[in-house]
């Protein structure tokens, strides 16, 4: 028990240290407007170099990813019915599905699922 706590603490501290170190080393020291602007054969750019991005599409993709992961969490539950108590299995499934349905209802209520806005 203690060895798992020590290993997980060491892993957490090591990963935090690596993230902080890479964050410090990745900082750009020179920030110049000319170097950060797009280059168009020596002329000033005619338009924005950034393409428009649909935030609505990104939100739908994230919601799909979340529900896709939740479906993969539901798949192994079917074979477990033979290995566990039916009451605990059923209560776990119902609790998980209620949480999923509440999340879906909340997204629907907030209007995140409406594509044509």
Give the pLDDT means over successive 10-residue stretches in the chain (117 positions): 90 94 75 65 64 77 85 84 86 89 88 72
Q: Which long-range contacts (CB under 8 A, 24 or more apart) does 96-103 make?
A: 100/67, 100/70, 103/66
**What is the model's pLDDT at position 108?**
86
**What is the model's pLDDT at position 104?**
85
What is the pTM (predicted TM-score) of this model?
A: 0.48
**What is the model's pLDDT at position 46?**
65
Query: What does DSSP assign to residue 1?
Result: -
Q: What does the angle CA 55 – CA 58 – CA 64 come to, to the nearest 5 degrees?
A: 145
**What is the model's pLDDT at position 47?**
65
**What is the model's pLDDT at position 74?**
84
**What is the model's pLDDT at position 98?**
93
- Tokens 């168009």 map to which residue? 40
Contact present, 38 and 49 (Cβ < 8 Å) = yes
Distances, alpha carbon 108 to alpha carbons 55, 65, 113, 114, in Å: 17, 16, 6, 8
- 40: β partners: 43
Where do the structural domains in the chain lie, given as residue ranges?
58-112
């Amino acid at each position: 028990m203690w060895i798992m706590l020590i290993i997980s603490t060491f892993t957490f501290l090591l990963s935090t240290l690596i993230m902080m170190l890479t964050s410090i080393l990745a900082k750009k020291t020179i920030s110049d407007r000319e170097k950060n602007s797009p280059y168009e054969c020596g002329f000033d750019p005619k338009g924005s170099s950034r393409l428009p991005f649909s935030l609505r599409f990104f939100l739908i993709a994230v919601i799909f990813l979340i529900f896709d992961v939740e479906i993969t969490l539901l798949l192994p539950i079917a074979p477990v019915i033979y290995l566990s108590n039916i009451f605990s299995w059923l209560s776990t499934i119902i609790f998980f599905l209620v949480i999923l349905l509440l999340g879906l209802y909340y997204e629907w209520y907030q209007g995140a699922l409406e594509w044509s806005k």
